[in-house]
Structure 1
Amino acid sequence: MEHLIIFFCFAITLHNIEEAIWLPQWSQKPSKFQMAVTPSEFHFAVIIITILAYLSAFSYLYFPESDLAKWIFIGFLGSMVFNAIFPHLIATILLKTYAPGLLTGLLLNIPINSLIIYELLENHLIIWKELIISTVIIGIILLSLIPLLFKMSRKLCPYT
């Protein structure tokens, strides 16, 4: 399982790098899928989200008996699978333009996170109910956190 957790960190890092490079400019086009965000706002938020993902992964790795660590980690796994589909895939289809993060979402996040989820289910370390509830809760937390991180970035770095 340790190597799979490292792959999770690798996948989310590459996904967030792809977004950090192209999403701020992409977000400047009017869209229902993305509010306009500056590079500094997005970079600040994506760094914090990446740190939280790493903390969730390593908390589960070092404290596998902790239900809270497990639930947060599987919530991240499920949220990142869902994130590859909505908004990235849906936005790409509906806007007829590439949504940054789609490639790494489809080629890394979905297969790697799905493999980890499969292994956790096969080894009876989680049940579907935990996965679904954790994904919903962590997804809501992350979606709520992103605008707050953008706001924090504007307060901490007002001139960038």
Structure 2
Amino acid sequence: MVYFVAFFCFAITLHNIEEAIWLPEWSQQSSKFQKPVTSNEFHFAVIVITMLAYLSAFGFLYMPESDIAKWIFIGFLGSMVINAIFPHLIATVVMKKYAPGLLTGLLLNIPVNSLVIYQMFLKNLIVWKELIISTLVVGIILLALIPLLFKVGDKVSP
């Protein structure tokens, strides 16, 4: 599983770098999908989210017997698969303009995370109920955390 966890970290890092480079400027246009966000706000939030993703991955690797570590990790896996579709793919289609994060979401996050999930099913590490509930819980927590991180990022950045 070490390689699969490393692939997850690689994929989410590249995805978040793509977003960090282009999303703040993209968010300045009128959109139902994204409120305008400054570079400072977004960069702070994306760094924290990336750190949490890494913590979830390493927590699973170093505490494989922990259900909570596993649930948080698979929640991140599932959330990032959904994230590639909503908002990235849907925003691109509806706005008829590329939404930053779409390319890495479709070409990295969906295949890599799906492969990790598939391997976890093959090794009987997870069941569907765990994947679905973990994805929902982690996804909701991340959605709630992002606006808070934007506010903190605005305060702590020069």
TM-score range normalised by the length of the shorter chain: over 0.9
Equivalent residue for 1:68?
Answer: 68
- How far residue 95 of structure 1 moved from its aligned partner, in angstroms, is 0.3
Amino acid at match of 1:73: F
Runs of 5+ unmatched residues, structure 1: none
Deviation at 1:132, TM superposition (A): 0.2
Alignment deviations for residues 31-73 of structure 1 (CA, whole Å, 9 cap, x no partner): 0000100000000000000000000000000000000000000
Unaligned runs of 5+ in 2: none
| Moved segments of 4+, more than 3 Å | none
Q: Match of 1:32?
A: 32
| Cα separation, 2, equivalents of 1:48 and 1:155 | 15
CA RMSD of aligned residues (A): 0.5
For this pair of structures, how many residues does the alignment match? 158
Query: Does 2:19 align with 1:14?
Result: no
**Whole-Å separation in 2 of the counterparts to 1:40 and 1:156:** 9
Deviation at 1:104, TM superposition (A): 0.2
Offset at 1:123? Answer: 1.1
How far apart, in 1, do the equivalents of 2:49 and 2:89 lie? Answer: 20
Query: Which amino acid in the other structure matches residue 108 of structure 2?
Result: L
> With structure 1 as the length reference, what TM-score do the two structures score?
0.98
Output aligned runs, 1:35-50, within 5 Å.
35-50=35-50
TM-score (norm 2): 0.99
Secondary structure of 1:153's aligned partner: helix
Aligned to 1:101: 101
| Partners of 1:123 and 1:57 in 2: CA distance | 17
Give the Cα separation in 1 of the matches to 2:125 and 2:155.
42
Letter in 2 for 1:55: L
